[in-house]
Amino acid sequence: MKIDPVVFTIGPLEVRWYGIAMAGALLFGIWYLVTRGKSKGLNQDHLVVMSLLVMIFGILGARLMYIAANHPNWFWEEPVRILKTYEGGLAWHGGLIGGVLSAYLYLRYRAKISFNQVADLCVPAIALGYFLIRLANIPNVENIGRMTSFYFGRWPAQLIAAGINLALLLRHFVISKKNLPDGHLFWSFLFYHQVLRAGVEETIREMPLVYQLYVNNSLGIGFLTLVQVTTLPVLLFIGWILWYYIRKENPNK
């Protein structure tokens, strides 16, 4: 059954499931961050400003990286289409880079607040956002799974990806009760997210392969996509932060 990607229209304006998912995740993220930050004695104004910067530069980075990797011709042939984020088309790594850099620079040089302390409070919003976006990919017919010889035909890649982030969200709330150093929740979330995305989600998604290491059309799996190629250096970087930098900042934890 095909789901209409447009929920309703107001004149020429189309309100889509994708846009609702993005807006819902952003609003929840700001609310959660400010509420939890207040309980930890953090300045609410700084948290709100940081959230807005992350929203702007996260979406900008995600959109630009998606277009650069998939439709570079849009930059000179259809530049207006770059602004149509509600139609879908965001790259996780681009959003992560844009959001993390803007937050780090603002918190370090303007707010004078520990980035790692604030980053831990952002995990629920990131996990929920990815969960909702993957569900919104269904009506947009994006990020579809590979065909298989199993009875269900095509892998439900969007639902599997959504399930991965739901599991990571539950993991976050379980381990957040432990006495962990600042930053552990955030960077460990990214670590396991990258492992599961590259190992599961990308393997069953209908994505072009930059190098055909292994393909099994019967099982509906394939290696290596661009994300899988870039995952190892990303994991090494996150691992260094987790096991060296964070421990160095928090020697008593």
Q: What are phi and psi of 13, to 5 degrees?
A: -85, 125
* Rg value, the chain, Cα: 19
Task: Give bridge partners of residue 9 from the DSSP assignment.
Answer: 14
Distance CA 206, CA 175 (A): 34
Cα–Cα nearest to 63, from 47, 39, 79, 51: 79
Question: DSSP string of 21-54?
Answer: HHHHHHHHHHHHHHHHHHHTT--HHHHHHHHHHH
Residue at 57: amino acid letter: F
First-to-last CA distance in the chain?
51
Assess contact for 7 and 20: CB atoms under 8 A.
yes
Distance CA 20, CA 16 (A): 6
Q: Which residues contact 244 (CB under 8 A, 6 or more apart)?
A: none
Q: Is 134 known as a binding-site position? A: yes
Centroid of chain to Cα 166: 12
Q: Which residues are annotated as a binding site?
A: 134
